[in-house]
Amino acid sequence: MNIDWQNIDTVLLDMDGTLLDLHFDNFFWLEHLPKRYAAQNQDSHEDVIASLRQQLFDKQGTLEWYCTDYWSRQLGLNIIELKREISHLINERPQVLSFLQALKANNKNCLLITNAHPDSVALKFSVTRIEPLFDKVISSHQYGYPKEALGFWLRLQEECPFDPERTLFIDDSESVLRAAKDYGIAHLLSIKKPDSQRETSPSKQFRSIGDFAEVLSLEAATSHG
């Protein structure tokens, strides 16, 4: 994939489904949590699945949808503790570390911007090796707006000034990528298969990558710059 790295100063990266395999999150919300919730409430697994899906659907695109504190209160369970029980499923996607190391070696401004709650970010960092490779880590919960909202991008620009025309943003969410496009970010990439265990249709609106080997032309592209 041809990326003109000479014209990119800042790289914004999503976490879940982009740098990390979304299998952990999907397994948690669709399998692990419903099983625990059903056991606590003595309901059938099928009824719990239907109830949780409706509750999640009702909050989709809002900050609460991503908030572990909200769901802990809503469901009467410690969401972070339940996530720790299956933390062995947290994994980097292929070539992620090589890509992040290349960004650092080539002096690109590299920011993690995620809708994940800070508690979830801390858990992911505790079992992966990505944290030291970022110049800054930002959870949308710090701003009070999810990445789908203009308010997030205005706050990001205020805290970490960047030139949208010279910025690359990679995310697995079409709605988030559309918000970034509306804000004016020039270089946008999607992810073909955020969950390694599930087949998904590639984005029709944005160029997609299968793994980060496709954008590891970075070193060669910038070695003479």
Task: From first to last of the 225 residues of the chain, give the pLDDT tens digit.
Answer: 678 889 999 999 999 999 999 999 999 988 899 888 888 887 776 777 788 878 888 887 788 888 999 999 999 999 999 999 999 999 999 999 999 999 999 999 999 999 999 999 999 999 999 999 999 999 999 999 999 999 999 999 999 999 999 999 999 999 999 999 999 999 999 999 999 999 888 788 999 999 999 987 654 444 333
Give me the residue spans of the domains in the chain: 5-21+91-222, 24-88
Residue type, 133: L
- Distances, alpha carbon 81 to alpha carbons 108, 121, 141, 206, in Å: 35, 14, 20, 36
Place of tokens 């955020």: 194
pTM of the entire predicted model: 0.92
Report the C-alpha dihedral over residues 65, 142, 180, 198, rounded to 10 degrees: -40
**CATH number belonging to domain 5-21+91-222:** 3.40.50.1000
